[in-house]
Amino acid sequence: MTTIDPARIPENLRPVIEAMCATGAQLSRVIARGPLAGKLGAGVGENSDGDQQKALDVMADEMFEAALRGTGVKYYASEEQEDVLTLDEGGTFALATDPLDGSSNIDVNVTIGTIFSIFPVADSATASFLRPARDQICAGYIAYGPQTLLAVTFGAGTVLFVLDPETGRFELAEEKMDLPVAAKEFSINASNRRHWGQAVLAYVEENERGKDGPKGKDMNFRWVGSLVAETHRILTRGGTFLYPSDSRKGYENGRLRMVYEVAPMAYLVEQAGGKATDGVTPIMDLTAEQLHERRPFVFGSAEEVDRITALHC
C-alpha cells in the first residue's frame, strides 16, 4: 500500500517521496511510544560537526538511508555522517537530510522532525550538494507532533499532508500553504542577547516596544528550539525566525547547516510566499561551499524579513 497519493508527486520522484513517507510513518510510531521504545534521547556520541548525537538521531539516519536504496537516489548526504554516501550508482538524484531535527526535545514531548532536500545529480558527489540553493527540485519536512505532517514543495507552491493514523497514509490537508505577509510573532533564542550584533538587537528591541514603538502593534515572542516546529508554525500563521551569527566562538556564521536545514526550509518558505535570507542576501541566491557549512538564517513573513534586512544594511 502506498503511503501518499502518487498523483500529487512528480512521477520521477515518486519512489523517493514514497520511501521518505513510509519511513516517516514508521519513525512517528517509534516516537509516539516515547520511553517505551527505549532511551531515544540518550547521548550516543558526536557527529562530524561536534554536536552530540542522540540515539534517535542515529536510528532515524539508518532508517532513511536503508529506505532510500533502490529509489533512484545516487548520493545521500546526512547531517549525522561526515561524507556523502553512494546508494544507487545509476541514480539521478542527490538527497540531503537532517534525519532528526530538534533532538534535544525528544525526551520532553515537543514536536521534532525530519528535513530533506533533493537536487539532480551533478558531476560528483560534492558538486551535487555544493551548488546554488535554487537548484533544488524538492524540499520538505516531516513533523512528529500531535499530528504527523509532511510539508513539501516541488517548485510550484508548498503542499501540506497529514498522516492518517488509521490508514497509515499521508492525506492532503492544504493544497497551497500561504504564509501571511505581515506578522505579530517572532522567534529567537533570547538567552544569546548579549552576543547579538546591532541589527538583530535593534530588531528585537523594536518588537519589544510593541504598539508604543515604530511597528505600532504588539509582538508576541515564541521559541521552541526545534526548527521544524518553528517553521510549521510560521508557515501556518506567519511570524519570523532568527538564528543569526553572533560574537561567540563557533557562532560567527550561525549554527544551522546550509545544506541540511537552511536551503530546504528557505525553499519551502519562499514557495509559500515568505522570504528567507542570511540577514542580507536571499538564501536561494547562495551556494554552500562546504558540506556541513553553517549559515545565519532569517525567514518568515515578507514585511518582517524586509525590515531585518534593512536594519543590516
| Binding site listing for substrate | 101-104, 189
Long-range contacts of 156-163 (CB under 8 A, 24+ apart): 156/271, 157/271, 157/272, 158/235, 158/268, 158/269, 158/271, 158/272, 159/8, 161/4, 163/24, 163/25, 163/28
Rounded distance between C-alpha atoms, residue 268 and residue 150, angstroms: 11
| C-alpha cell recorded at residue 255 | 549554527
Distance CA 280, CA 296 (A): 10
- Cell 526535545 locates to 105
- Helix, coil or strand: residue 55: helix
DSSP β-bridge partners for residue 241:
187, 299
d(CA 55, CA 245): 29
Q: In angstroms, rounded to a whole number, what is the distance separating the alpha carbons of residues 149 and 176?
A: 14
Q: Which residue ranges are tagged as binding site for Mg(2+)?
A: 79, 98, 100-101, 261
* Euclidean distance between CA atoms 184 and 40, whole angstroms: 35
Contact 281, 306 (CB under 8 A): no
Distance CA 261, CA 124 (A): 21
Binding-site annotation: residue ranges: 79, 98, 100-104, 189, 261
Tally Cβ neighbours within 10 Å of residue 16.
Answer: 22
Q: How many helices (H) and strands (E) does the chain have?
A: 7, 15
Angle ∠(51,53,58) on CA atoms, nearest 5: 140
The SS3 call for residue 184 is coil
